A and B are shown apart, each in its own frame.
Chain A
Amino acid sequence: MSTSKLPLGIEDIKKIIPQRFPFLMIDRVIEASPDKVVAIKNVSVNEHFFAGHFPDLKVMPGVLMIETMAQAGIVLYKQKFQNDNLLYLVSVKSRFFNPVFPGDQLRIEVTPMKMMSKIGIFKADISVGDKKIVEAEIAFGTQDAKFS
């Protein structure tokens, strides 16, 4: 995966992550190595979630920003481990600083804290221009990961 030519377009991304419309949350990967992944998501007014969130004020739901960072995290995981493991979200520590509106371009950056084959934790953040949107620490595991 790490040998793919950057930037990765949507067809390359679909080979890496299993999510699909309406839940594929990254449009492009502009940097990818086992140490860091940077992805881009363009937020259009036509996003399905804006229909209800909210009818009179379109704001991107924070939980979908978490999902966006988690998907960038899958790309990061796959830089180190080329397998078909399905990764489940285990824990999220996050802090939101600014809302996201239609027209914003999200820059998602993820770096590993510890990336292992069945379990991992990484730092993530999203920014729009020079504005910080959210910071998080996200942990994931495969369904059969057990360390007790």
Chain B
Amino acid sequence: MTDVRSEVLGIVSMVIEKEIKDIPLDAHLIQEVGADSMMALEILAALEKKYRVIIPEEKLKEMTTVNKIINMIESARKRK
């Protein structure tokens, strides 16, 4: 497991209060895992703080699965 993957899963797990094993990487966080839009915002804020990146507002809608979040973080870090 890559560092980013385990770190993102850790943040998602903490915010939505579910164990990592219950968060499939391609499951829709809101429709399938039980997150809500506020949790998505909390995840986004935590990711920005941890990785010192700015994630634009329109990207929030794309943060639907852990894998998509990981890709987003990796491309945001490349842009830095």
Query: CA–CA, A146 to B30, complex, Å?
Result: 12
Query: CA–CA, A121 to B48, complex, Å?
Result: 13
Which label, helix, strand, loop or mixed, suits the secondary structure of the B interface? helix
Query: CA–CA, A116 to B37, complex, Å?
Result: 13
Interface size on A, residues (CB 8 A): 15
Query: CA–CA, A147 to B40, complex, Å?
Result: 8
Residues A114 and B40 in contact, CB atoms below 8 Å apart: no
Query: CA–CA, A146 to B55, complex, Å?
Result: 18
Question: Which size class do B's interface residues fall under?
Answer: 10 to 19
CB of B1 within 8 A of chain A? no
Residues B42 and A146 in contact, CB atoms below 8 Å apart: no
Residues A139 and B30 in contact, CB atoms below 8 Å apart: no
Given A114-B44, A148-B31, A90:B38 Cβ within 8 A: yes
* Cβ-defined partner of A148 (8 Å) among B30, B44, B48, B49: B30
Residues B60 and A147 in contact, CB atoms below 8 Å apart: yes
CB of A141 within 8 A of chain B? yes
The 6 residue pairs across chains A and B that have the minimum distance between CB atoms? A147-B37, A113-B45, A114-B45, A116-B57, A148-B30, A139-B38
